[in-house]
Structure 1
Amino acid sequence: MVSGPVGVVVLTDRRVARRPLVEVVAGAVAGGVRWVVLREKDLPRPDRAALAAELRAVLAQVGGTLVVAGPDPLDGDAVHLPAAGPYPPPRLGLVGRSCHDHTELARLTTEDYVTLSPVYPTRTKPGYGPPLHPEGLAALIGASPVPVLALGGIETAEQVQDCVEAGAAGVAVLGAVMRSDDPAEAATTLTTAFDQATRQKAAHPRPPSRRRTTAVPTTGLRPTAPTEGSSLTARSGHGRPQPSTATTERAK
């Protein structure tokens, strides 16, 4: 069993990457990233599996882990599933799922971690939301039975710090690294911010009762202007199922 993602987690998107994807990931790894989620679901399986093997080789040099978006682990043992399914989750070493509200958190069974999104407005998926912001993120983290990665629009050290303060075990980023002219520098900035925020929070813990929260949806958020190459909830199929019972579910 692989322990769940922590720190800065990079999501791939070769369409927006400024350099070849393997080179970008190598830069992120040099900047301290140890977790990468492979998306690229439009590729034929043989091509995607070959890309997964290349990325695993890069991560293996630092003891990192590749997680594959979708139920097919591509010869690995770690996947990240959409809110829409499959249910029950496959039996693998590590299983994550995209969630966005209390309803989806309540459906979790054997998943090891979740992403919660969107925390902030995203350039890659404008109009998707409304964003949770740190207060809404904190409220959902308080309801989650598993560790949470904050996802969506996280590009600055200040945003990383706010997500850590809200209780996130890590932050998942796409554009901040994929679009960077220097992925290593971008990753270093974010991983340093995460480490500093984690140390600060450990040194000055805030009692849960003092956490400021805001109302968050109990039913699904819907995209108003979907675009390609956005977060784990984009083309990878990480959508929301529509209701078949009294519980609200969503489809992408």
Structure 2
Amino acid sequence: MDATLGRLHLITDARPGRDPVGTVRAALAAHAAAGDAVRAATGPLVVQVRVEDDATDLDAYQLAVRVRELCAAAGATCLINDRLHVALAVGADGGHVGALDLPVAAARRVLGPGAILGATARTSGVGRAAIAGGASYLGVGPCYATSTKDGLPSPLGPAGLAAVTGAVPVPVVAIAGVTAARVAELLAAGAHGVAVVGAVSGAADPGRAVSELLRELARAAVDHDQRDRDQHGRDRQDDAEPARGGVR
């Protein structure tokens, strides 16, 4: 997994009545206040600027400028969803494209070789094609039912997520219906991290919601790494058995 890609991805909620900039501020403050061990396990906060489909480019640009400034000051990663020209205009760290956006290879040409580029996938085949086109990571979902976005296919669940994570070599970020209580099962299914919208923007205390997500991500990441080390040790022991038997 890419250690430079944070495990918690906050997607801005620009629906009427929401406060995307205030939510980002609260999230960045919560990340800064997290303990060293939590930050080490979860990496930098990733903020993905997403606006409503009917928003103007000016609306998207103005929001992206403010979010990018906040992220730069806090050492967070700033990505722009869909509108890659806005990503370039504000100097974001990269972007994310979905099924109806630019093809991944075209998006990579727009952003250049050094940018972070996420791509949405639901199957391993789509995921592998996105990686071949230049995707740095995959956003996989919907993992659970969500009311944040309309017209989504049926949820994959942890098993469907695992079918993708087990088939691709890049970080996978689980999205849709993610809560702190579901983090452990998503990382156990192979996810590198999670992307959230409503779990933070709709919370009474967005900062507290981010703190809870970070704690669960750190705990699950440590558990996952320990299981990997244990499995690696068992594999090495199994590989050594025939050699020991052969010299007797």
Range into which the TM-score falls when normalised by the shorter chain: 0.7 to 0.9
The answer to whether the aligner puts 1:163 opposite 2:163 as a matched pair is no
The answer to whether the aligner puts 1:142 opposite 2:166 as a matched pair is yes
Amino acid at match of 1:83: A
* Residues 121 and 4 (structure 1), Cα distance of their counterparts in 2 relative to 1, 3 Å cut: farther
In the other structure, the counterpart of 1:14 is 14
SS of 2:74 mapped into structure 1: coil
Question: Greater Rg, structure 1 or structure 2?
Answer: 2
Q: Distance in 1 between matches of 2:203 and 2:4?
A: 26
Amino acid at match of 2:70: V
Please give the per-residue CA displacement for 1:40-80, whole angstroms capped at 9, x wherever unaligned.
14332223212111111211222101100113214324110
Query: What is the root-mean-square deviation in Å for CA atoms of aligned residues?
Result: 2.3
Q: Higher relative CO (CA 8 A, sep ≥ 6), structure 1 or 2? A: 1
Q: Distance in 2 between matches of 1:45 and 1:16?
A: 17
Q: Distance in 2 between matches of 1:141 and 1:176?
A: 23
Q: Distance in 1 between matches of 2:56 and 2:3?
A: 29
* Residues 185 and 132 (structure 1), Cα distance of their counterparts in 2 relative to 1, 3 Å cut: same
Q: Distance in 2 between matches of 1:111 and 1:57?
A: 25
* Residues 166 and 60 (structure 1), Cα distance of their counterparts in 2 relative to 1, 3 Å cut: same
Counterparts of 1:191-202 in structure 2, within 5 Å, are 191-202=214-225
Q: Distance in 2 between matches of 1:200 and 1:16?
A: 39
Range moving further from structure 2, 97-106 or 165-174: 97-106
The answer to whether the aligner puts 1:83 opposite 2:99 as a matched pair is yes
Q: Distance in 2 between matches of 1:149 and 1:186?
A: 18
Counterparts of 1:40-189 in structure 2, within 5 Å, are 40=51, 41-70=53-82, 71-72=84-85, 73=87, 74-76=89-91, 77-84=93-100, 85-88=102-105, 89-91=107-109, 92=111, 93-108=115-130, 109=132, 110-125=134-149, 128-155=152-179, 157-189=180-212
Q: Distance in 1 between matches of 2:231 and 2:50?
A: 37
Number of residue-to-residue matches in the alignment: 205
Instruction: Flag structure 1 segments of 5+ consecutive residues without an equivalent.
Output: 209-252
2:124–2:163 CA contact under 8 A, matched in 1: no
Range moving further from structure 2, 76-85 or 167-176: 76-85
What TM-score results when the alignment is normalised by the length of structure 2? 0.75
Q: Distance in 2 between matches of 1:17 and 1:104?
A: 35
Q: CA deviation at 1:127?
A: 7.1
The answer to whether the aligner puts 1:25 opposite 2:29 as a matched pair is no
In the other structure, the counterpart of 1:34 is 45
Q: Distance in 1 between matches of 2:108 and 2:152?
A: 29
1:17–1:24 CA contact under 8 A, matched in 2: no
Identical-residue share of aligned pairs (%): 32
Range moving further from structure 2, 163-172 or 103-112: 103-112
2:108–2:135 CA contact under 8 A, matched in 1: no
Range moving further from structure 2, 164-173 or 126-135: 126-135
Instruction: Flag structure 2 segments of 5+ consecutive residues without an equivalent.
Output: 32-43, 233-248
Q: Distance in 2 between matches of 1:203 and 1:131?
A: 29
SS of 2:48 mapped into structure 1: strand
2:68–2:90 CA contact under 8 A, matched in 1: no
* Residues 17 and 177 (structure 1), Cα distance of their counterparts in 2 relative to 1, 3 Å cut: farther
Please give the per-residue CA displacement for 1:155-181, whole angstroms capped at 9, x wherever unaligned.
2x2211111111111100010011112
Please give the per-residue CA displacement for 1:12-57, whole angstroms capped at 9, x wherever unaligned.
1121664x22111111112227111111143322232121111112
* Residues 101 and 28 (structure 1), Cα distance of their counterparts in 2 relative to 1, 3 Å cut: same
